[in-house]
Amino acid sequence: MAASTTSTPFEVYRFDPSKDSAPRYDRFTLDLPAHTPVLTALLKIRTENDPSLTLRYSCRSAICGSCAMLINSKSRLACQTPVGPELARHGKIVIEPMRNQPVVRDLVVDQKPFWDRYRKIEPFLKTDARDPMPVGRENPMTPEQVDRFHETPRCIACAACYSACPAVEADPEFPGPMALAKLYRFVVDPRDKDSKNRLVRIQPEGLWLCLRCHLCTEACPKDVRPSERIRDLKEMAIAAAGVSEPGSRHAVGFKDNIAEAGILNEFKLVRQTYGPMDLLRQLPQGIKVARKKPEILKKPDPIEGLDEVRAIYKALDPDAEDR
Amino acid sequence: MKLAYYPGCVAQESGKELDMATRWVCRHLGIELVDFPNFSCCGSGFIDEANSILNVALNARNLAIAERAGLDLLTVCSTCQGMLTLANRRLEEPATKARVDGVLAPLRLSYSGKTKVTHLLGVLVDTIGVDALRSRVVRPLQGLKVGAFYGCHLLRPQSEMNSESAEEPHSFEDLISALGATPVLYRGRVMCCGFPILFVKEPTANRIAGRQIDDAKAHGADAMATPCPLCHISLDSFQNKAEHEVGHSLDMPVFHLPQLVGLALGASAEELGLPRHLVATDAALAKVARVAVPT
């Protein structure tokens, strides 16, 4: 029995920078069963309508990571996205190349920046000659050691997270969710002998530009949850390298700030994070804000039960002893 | 309805107008807010980065205080909402729960996991309901096109927040419609405001905020509204800097969610603290002022 089909309108981004002055959207309407993957539909368009449609794909099984693209504005694998729910939600299916990477042609983007950032985190095991890996036998891990990887080994480098990330969009210094999730994977690998240095190096190289907006975690087709692993990396980096630049200074400063009154001392936090020179540069903005919101300069009254908060710090925060 | 009111730090400090508007709206709608002067900061995501177990324990204390009073928590900040919800989630893990219990016990505090944490947006849309809310509107915000700006932690990670669709949410737009205004749909509404790195790398944060405001503007928004005071700092208090980054004027008034509601329910600009904004709301107010408020 044949599955029932629905008339499914597509709008497909087309652009050949060598010939076209601007991108255009080609319209195609296909009769498709709801479970048809978007990739299958695009290949049908290529076969039946327009052989020049250019796209990347290979395995069709969400393993190779080649066919990530924007499907109704969301970064997704085309092979893993059925047309039915997209049509139901949007009434049509708009196909565009991924964001944050220049278009080579149609749906194919130049992934060089993505791979450059990946290479930069040195995505390979670094061993130590003084503590060599066993030769001729396995190097087993305990179940606890394996758990620490979370889902990071599942990453297929499809770049959907990179495409969805607003920090990548706004700042070329941010390594991107995938590179950082990979970094995490090597940091927690018990066979890797460079974990601490990796954590020290990544702090000034963009770790703290993560916005923890979790858009990468929503975009990831393999549930790698990069944003959560980046959070873990931040905590590990503070433990390994201390407070070495504005990001960690802000996070640790915030933590210590709350220990004082249980509620945020806004002005003090800003002072701590910036340091004197940057604070001076911020003076005009500070005056602008304080004129409308004078409370920002006020030291807050401590909360009731501050002793309880301090007891929690004492029990769980190693820094509390120093205070 | 009686709720434990968790204003969060900013609404008690530089974002006091959010607290003013929340109290006005809740008083008007018969929501009784119970204050707890012993609530501590939610950690704002920063304590989670510095020391995640400490963050869970501090919030477990907040949740325990509400539970002891037999009340659910009301938040007015996407980040507070996210952090308290995340703590509830983490406390479902037996090892985390045991460790936190061990810290709370000497303080004669215990938490059994009963405290529900709901943002004001959820209370208005789900508990009160958009129809009931619509019937209370005395100054329909007709002609005002509003871009909702959700704030990350209200929505994501969806698996942890148990939120509506993180990709295609609609509760805020439903609320805006109920107030008589026209919701504007734009990509930036579920994006990040840049706040987490505002004090780490300000130009990047400003650029991110600028892009979202620009996007709302390009889709025809006269104003934006946010359920998160941290987004408000990025979008309003630093909008001049965002303008500098995007290279042109934005002039986008940004309302706190309860300010928009209060406006439709008849509150004055002063009662809602609108003069405290960095970007003037006058142009947006002029659009709705044509409708007289019955006294």
Q: What is the mean pLDDT of residues B75-85?
A: 98
Domain identity same for A33 and A145: no
Q: pLDDT tens digit string along B168-188? A: 999 999 999 999 999 999 999
Contact call for residues B26 and B2 (beta carbons, < 8 A): no
Q: What interface predicted TM-score (ipTM) does this complex get?
A: 0.96
What residues of chain A lie within 8 A of the CB of B110, using their CB?
none
Confidence of residue A1 (pLDDT cuts 50, 70, 90): low
Residue A1: inside a domain, yes or no? Answer: no
Residue A32: inside a domain, yes or no? Answer: yes
Interface of A with B in 148-177 (CB under 8 A): 166-167, 169-171
How wide is the angle at C-alpha A275 spanned by C-alphas A285 and A121, nearest 5°?
105
Of A73, A248, A296, the CB nearest to B14: A296
Residue B113 has pLDDT above 70, yes or no: yes
What residues of chain B lie within 8 A of the CB of A214, using their CB?
152, 156-157
Contact state of B103 with A263 under an 8 Å Cβ cutoff: no
Contact state of B12 with A300 under an 8 Å Cβ cutoff: yes
Q: Does A291 touch chain B (CB under 8 A)?
A: no
Contact state of B43 with A217 under an 8 Å Cβ cutoff: no
Beta strand segments in chain A, E: 5-14, 24-33, 68-71, 74-77, 93-96, 103-105, 108-109
Q: Does A230 touch chain B (CB under 8 A)?
A: no
Strand partners, A94: A11
Q: Tell me the residue range of the domain where A104 lies.
A: 6-109
Domain identity same for A233 and A126: yes
A188: domain CATH number is: 1.10.1060.10
Q: pLDDT tens digit string along A193-218? A: 999 999 999 998 999 999 999 999 99
Q: Does B53 touch chain A (CB under 8 A)?
A: yes
What residues of chain B lie within 8 A of the CB of A202, using their CB?
none
Q: What is the mean pLDDT of residues B217-239?
A: 98
- Whole-number average pLDDT of chain B: 96
Q: What pLDDT, on a 0 to 100 scale, did the predictor assign at position B246?
A: 96
Burial zone of A116 (CB within 10 Å; 0-12 exposed, 13-18 middle, 19+ buried): exposed
Q: Does A185 touch chain B (CB under 8 A)?
A: no
Instruction: Tell which of A241, A267, A299 closes a domain.
Output: A241
Residue A165 has pLDDT above 90, yes or no: yes
Task: Identify the closest residue of chain A to B99 by CA–CA distance.
Answer: A316
Of A212, A258, A315, the CB nearest to B47: A258
Question: To the nearest whole angstrom, how far is the Cα of A160 from the nearest Cα of chain B?
Answer: 14
Distance CA(A54)–CA(A110), nearest Å, equals 13
Residue A292: inside a domain, yes or no? Answer: yes
Q: Does A273 touch chain B (CB under 8 A)?
A: yes
Residue B291 has pLDDT above 70, yes or no: no
Confidence of residue B290 (pLDDT cuts 50, 70, 90): low
Of B104, B196, B237, the CB nearest to A212: B196
Residue A279 has pLDDT above 80, yes or no: yes
Q: Which ranges in A125-265 belong to alpha helices (H)?
A: 143-147, 160-164, 166-170, 177-187, 195-202, 215-219, 226-241, 246-261
Contact state of A312 with B57 under an 8 Å Cβ cutoff: yes
The model's pTM is 0.96
Residue B295 has pLDDT above 60, yes or no: no
Q: pLDDT tens digit string along A38-92? A: 999 999 999 999 999 999 999 999 999 999 999 999 999 999 999 999 999 999 9
3-state secondary structure of B148: strand
Q: What is the mean pLDDT of residues A249-273?
A: 94
Q: What letter does residue B292 receive in the DSSP assignment?
A: P
What residues of chain B lie within 8 A of the CB of A312, using their CB?
54, 57-58, 61, 103-104, 107
Of B9, B187, B204, the CB nearest to A209: B204
3-state secondary structure of A208: helix
Please give the share of chain B, as a percent, with pLDDT higher than 90: 95
Question: To the nearest whole angstrom, how far is the Cα of B11 from the nearest Cα of chain A?
Answer: 10
Domain identity same for A56 and A153: no
Residue B195 has pLDDT above 80, yes or no: yes
Contact call for residues A86 and A145 (beta carbons, < 8 A): no
3-state secondary structure of B33: strand
Q: What pLDDT, on a 0 to 100 scale, did the predictor assign at position B236?
A: 98
Residue B31 has pLDDT above 80, yes or no: yes
Domain identity same for A186 and A95: no
**Cβ atoms within 10 Å of B247's Cβ, excluding its own:** 8
Instruction: Tell which of A223, A241, A259 closes a domain.
Output: A241
Domain identity same for A33 and A72: yes
**Cβ atoms within 10 Å of B114's Cβ, excluding its own:** 12
Interface of B with A in 240-269 (CB under 8 A): 240-241
Domain identity same for A83 and A118: no
Q: pLDDT tens digit string along B138-154? A: 999 999 999 999 999 99
Distance CA(B170)–CA(B118), nearest Å, equals 16
Q: Looking at per-residue confidence, does A178 or A129 come out higher?
A: A178
Q: What is the mean pLDDT of residues A272-300?
A: 91
Contact state of B156 with A213 under an 8 Å Cβ cutoff: yes
Domain identity same for A36 and A150: no
Residue A321 has pLDDT above 70, yes or no: no
Confidence of residue B270 (pLDDT cuts 50, 70, 90): very high
A60: domain CATH number is: 3.10.20.30
The residue type found at B76 is: V
Domain identity same for A41 and A69: yes
Domain identity same for A209 and A266: no
Task: Identify the closest residue of chain B to A305 by CA–CA distance.
Answer: B38
Domain identity same for A42 and A88: yes
Instruction: Tell which of A209, A241, A273 closes a domain.
Output: A241
Task: From B140, B170, B131, B150, select the one nearest B260 (Cα to Cα).
Answer: B140
Contact state of A266 with B39 under an 8 Å Cβ cutoff: no
Task: Identify the closest residue of chain B to A217 by CA–CA distance.
Answer: B157
Q: What pLDDT, on a 0 to 100 scale, did the predictor assign at position A188?
A: 98
Contact state of B201 with A171 under an 8 Å Cβ cutoff: yes
What count of Cα atoms within 13 Å lies in the side-chain half-sphere of residue A237?
Answer: 29
Q: What is the mean pLDDT of residues A145-161?
A: 98
Q: What pLDDT, on a 0 to 100 scale, did the predictor assign at position B130?
A: 97
**Cβ atoms within 10 Å of B239's Cβ, excluding its own:** 23
Q: Does B277 touch chain A (CB under 8 A)?
A: yes
Say which residues have a Cβ less than 8 Å from residue B159's Cβ, sequence separation at least 6. none
Q: Which of A70, A207, A225, A292 to mutate to test the interface with B (most CBs of B within 10 A)?
A: A292
- Whole-number average pLDDT of chain A: 95
Domain identity same for A85 and A123: no
Contact state of A211 with B194 under an 8 Å Cβ cutoff: yes
Q: pLDDT tens digit string along A170-199? A: 999 999 999 999 999 999 999 999 999 999
Q: What is the mean pLDDT of residues B1-9?
A: 97
Please give the share of chain B, as a percent, with pLDDT higher than 70: 98
Interface of B with A in 111-150 (CB under 8 A): none
What is the distance of C-alpha A203 from the center of its chain? Answer: 16
Contact call for residues B263 and B7 (beta carbons, < 8 A): no
Of A209, A285, A309, the CB nearest to B40: A309
A24 phi, psi to nearest 5 deg: -135, 165
Question: To the nearest whole angstrom, how far is the Cα of A282 from the nearest Cα of chain B?
Answer: 10
Q: What pLDDT, on a 0 to 100 scale, did the predictor assign at position A273?
A: 86
Question: How many pairs of residues across A and B have Cβ atoms under 8 Å apart?
Answer: 186
Distance CA(B276)–CA(B150), nearest Å, equals 21
Contact state of A215 with B192 under an 8 Å Cβ cutoff: yes
Domain identity same for A155 and A228: yes
Interface of A with B in 242-271 (CB under 8 A): 246-248, 250-252, 254-255, 258, 262-264, 266, 269-270
Contact state of B276 with A292 under an 8 Å Cβ cutoff: yes
**What domain count does chain A have?**
3
